[in-house]
Amino acid sequence: MFSKVKICVFVVLCLGIVGLSAGLIGCGSRVVDESSTSTTITLLPGATTTTTSTTVTLAPGVTTTTSTTTSTTTTSTTTTTVTLPPGVATTTSTTTSTTTTSTTTTTIGFTAHTIDPDFDGASSVFGVDLDSDGDIDVVAVAEKADEIAWYENDRSENLTKHSVTSTFEGVKKVYAADLDNDADIDLVGGCFTGSGLAWFENNGSQNFTTHVLDADASVFSIYVADLNGDDFRDIVVGDSSTISWWENNQDQTFTKHSLRSAFTGDVYAVDIDDDGDPDLLSAHAYSDTIRWWDNSDGLGDFTERIISDDYIDVHSVLAVDFDQDGDIDVLSTSGSSNEVSWWQNNGSQSFTYHVIDNGIYQASFAWAGDLDGDSEPDVLVRGNYNVYWLHNDGSAESFSQHTICNITFDFPMSFSLLDIDQDGDIDLFGAYYGSDDVVWWENSRF
């Protein structure tokens, strides 16, 4: 069927046709009476789509994920024929293109190794090279046993227990850092009920002296950083009544500065506004608030800022650059909403809310690290029944859920993410309050 087409359209058609006469191109208002176009796309034989699935079966106690590799090869031919009036050459153009797409997902597994099966009320762990021999040791606390201990790694993942104290009543949290600038690692311990807040001075041979800071503190979280720029590390504490920081006086004593009277869950020190000094990040479950505290002059004078004041039952906060744009975003969990979320820092300390997963029952503690070696930060989160790995699929907008272990009766209170076996990937180690275990999970990606 033929249709009449104005010459402006015909000129466009002519541009791709070799050999048309100059008179035809310059026809002015002339109408071409007969023309038609047709397009045919043909998928050539041999175009293939293949999918290969591999399932790895390991021994009992090993958690695995199954990878899927998809490779698609598509070859297409496009033939375009332009039919013109009698006397004008007909030109046929053929274009062939081939596209191959390949996607590979790495299979990783986690194998459980028990460090201590009888650490009564295990409630917190911290990974650090405590004896300065080049490997990761494990510090742990046992709330029911009133004990802080460290487990010496012999570089072959054989860990030997050494007790720091067994009289720190109700100890729940621990943090490791050099507080007195003597080039060895000291410890800070906190109790929610019991002995309060103290630091434990390492004499250089992993013998420790106890210094009580506040016998009445009800400690929920601890962080250590130099907040006032004097090159001595200070202590940040979230407890049942305040968020505070303890200024290191450089003589083994500390001075308390209270920022706000409010029940405080997690605390974290990080440079949120990129001005070169550490700010603070805090979670306040009773007021459903996530705050950050601007260290305005770099000397420990803090101004309160609100990230959200309606994030119900906020339990955990963590600083991590999820979108890898060079500034600090915030990871959070909500127990009653069964939710893991992240707050995107828009570059001027305004934050946009994103849901990672809203199907983890009683989502509580969360940690972040690159578990599969793809250079994207993943999330580890504890729910009421399982510990989950939320795999960052590459855009920080999509996460896939994997179960690492069932915890119905074990009730883990704490995890730490470090390469304990020094094989180039991130392992996990945790404190299991219900079963009194200290455990590390070997990442078998390599």
C-alpha span between 28 and 343 (Å, rounded): 62
Strand pairing category for 242-248 and 254-261: antiparallel
Contact 279, 267 (CB under 8 A): no
* Bridging pattern class, strands 242-248 and 171-177: unpaired
Contact between 95 and 78 under an 8 Å Cβ cutoff? The reply is: yes
Domain ranges in the chain?
Answer: 122-261, 264-408
Structure tokens at 397: 């907008």
Phi and psi at residue 47, to the nearest 5°: -65, 130
* Residues in CB range of 272: below 8 A, 6 or more apart: 279, 281, 292, 294, 319, 327, 328, 345, 349
pLDDT tens sequence for the chain (446 residues): 444 334 333 333 333 433 333 333 333 333 333 334 434 334 444 444 443 333 333 333 444 444 443 444 444 444 545 555 566 555 555 555 544 444 444 556 889 999 999 999 999 999 999 999 999 999 999 999 999 999 999 998 899 999 999 999 999 999 999 999 999 999 999 999 989 999 999 999 999 999 999 999 999 999 999 999 999 999 999 999 999 999 999 999 999 999 999 999 999 999 999 999 999 999 999 999 999 999 999 999 999 999 999 999 999 999 999 999 999 999 999 999 999 999 999 998 999 999 999 999 999 989 999 999 999 999 999 998 889 999 998 878 799 999 988 765 566 678 899 999 999 999 999 998 988 999 999 998 75
Neighbour count for residue 26 (Cβ, 10 Å) = 9
pTM for the whole structure: 0.77
State how beta strands 427-432 and 437-443 pair.
Answer: antiparallel
Task: Output the pLDDT for position 408.
Answer: 58
Rounded Cα gap, residues 178 and 233, in angstroms: 7
Homologous superfamily of 264-408? YVTN repeat-like/Quinoprotein amine dehydrogenase (2.130.10.10)
* Residues 6 or more apart in contact with residue 247 via CB below 8 angstroms: 227, 228, 234, 254, 255, 256, 257, 300
If you write DSSP's letter for every residue of 388-432 in order, what string do you get?
EEEEE-SSSS-EEEEEEEE-TTT-EEEEEEE-TT-SSS-EEEEEE
* Cα–Cα distance, 157 to 137 (Å, whole number): 9
